[in-house]
Amino acid sequence: MWGLIHKLGSPKWFYQLSARLQPWCWGAAILLLVTGSVWGLFFAPADYQQGNSFRIIYVHVPAAFLAQSVFVTMAVAGLVYMVWKIKVADMAAAAMAPLGAAMTFVALFSGAVWGVPTWGTWWMWDARLTSMLILLFLYIGVIALRGAFGRRDSGARAASVLAMVGVINIPIIKYSVDWWYTLHQPASFTLTARPSMPLEMWLPLLIMVLGFYCFFIALTLMRTRSEILRREAKARWVQALIEEAR
Amino acid sequence: MTMASLVEWAAMGGHGRFVWSAWGVTAVFMVGLALHARLERRQLLRQLKRQARRQTPSPPRGPSHDPDA
């Protein structure tokens, strides 16, 4: 177990492993996203109450899932970096932060657009909406804090701490719809309970959610690899790699 | 599929502008992030190669301008 952690923590080993994993992750992401989009936009039946506006669910729910999952992953990576000084964990955290921020924005935007025909308003200071807005600010804070220090490890430590503290917002987002039920409906998509919608609406949503997660993994692997090259540019194995590519 | 049915589908029963703006923004962000990651990697590799060339000049390729050659 310890051996595995330290092996995974070695930038060189991670770089080589991720090179093999990456094409599969991109392939799965593209396949799932294309299938889910075509299914969701063309073949899924319109909702009997919301009509076609319900098709926003296929981008809104996966984006909201990623927004939260990326933050939790970032907090765990921050913890791993702080406790075991594993640099790859910090590189991955830096690589995934912009995706998390983007997905939070996408969830807020698609939700606002969906709110107009469904709720008659694009915004209300509902607990779910507000806690997601706070998540967006937390992401911006983590990204800005990392860049605000002259020394890289000071920025990395500050960003890790903010991610670990900010993760308290995630259960608040999750339970906000049950604790303060004002506007946003409770979760309609879970893997633990029976689907609350017909299968021909639920399956494309499942495919989209999986596609978004594969995209997250693929993008994070790719950007972590760049970050490894950038930070380890002086390492002998990186120089040998560059020499080979010349 | 006829043109008319395609237009009707795109209108989404009057909800077209909501559906397409939500999907559009999502697509722009995801494609943008993927392209940015690719550009980032290419630029970095180019920069690292340039640095390596500066440190250890590789043997000249093609016709040489070295007067001793």
Counting as low any pLDDT under 50, the low residues of chain A are none
Closest by CA to A229, choosing from A219, A242, A218, A213, is A242
By C-alpha distance, the chain A residue nearest B45 is A242
Q: Is B66 exposed, middle or buried (0-12, 13-18, 19+ CB in 10 A)?
A: exposed
| Record: contact A246-B33, CB cut-off 8 A | no
> Domain boundaries in chain A?
54-245
Q: Is B7 on the interface with A (CB under 8 A)?
A: no
| Record: contact A243-B53, CB cut-off 8 A | no
User: What is the distance, to the nearest Å, from the Cα of residue A169 to the centroid of all Cα atoms in its chain?
Assistant: 15
| Record: contact B18-A56, CB cut-off 8 A | yes
Tell me what pLDDT residue B5 has. Answer: 87
| Record: contact A106-B9, CB cut-off 8 A | no
| Record: contact A233-B21, CB cut-off 8 A | no
Please list, residue by residue across A66-86, b when 16 or more beta carbons sit within 10 angstroms of its beta carbon and e when fewer do. bbbbbbebbbbbbbbbbeeeb
Q: Is B38 on the interface with A (CB under 8 A)?
A: yes
Tell me what pLDDT residue A183 has. Answer: 82
DSSP-assigned beta bridge partners for residue A51: A47
CB atoms within 10 A of CB A142: 25
pLDDT digits (tens, 9 = 90+) for A163-220: 999 999 999 999 888 888 778 888 878 777 777 788 889 999 999 999 999 999 999 9
Residues 40-59 of B with CB under 8 A from A: 40-41, 44-45, 48-49, 51-53, 58
| Mean pLDDT, all residues of chain A | 92
Which tokens is A155 given?
A: 């920025």
Q: Is B9 on the interface with A (CB under 8 A)?
A: yes
Q: Which one-letter amino acid corresponds to residue B37?
A: A
Tell me what pLDDT residue B69 has. Answer: 44
By C-alpha distance, the chain B residue nearest A99 is B33
Q: Is A110 on the interface with B (CB under 8 A)?
A: yes
CA-based nearest distance B69→chain A, Å: 23
Tell me what pLDDT residue A121 has. Answer: 87
Of A42, A51, A239, the CB nearest to B52: A239
DSSP at B7: H
Counting every residue, how long is chain A?
Answer: 246
User: What is the distance, to the nearest Å, from the Cα of residue B45 to the centroid of all Cα atoms in its chain?
Assistant: 15
Residue B66 pLDDT exceeds 70: no
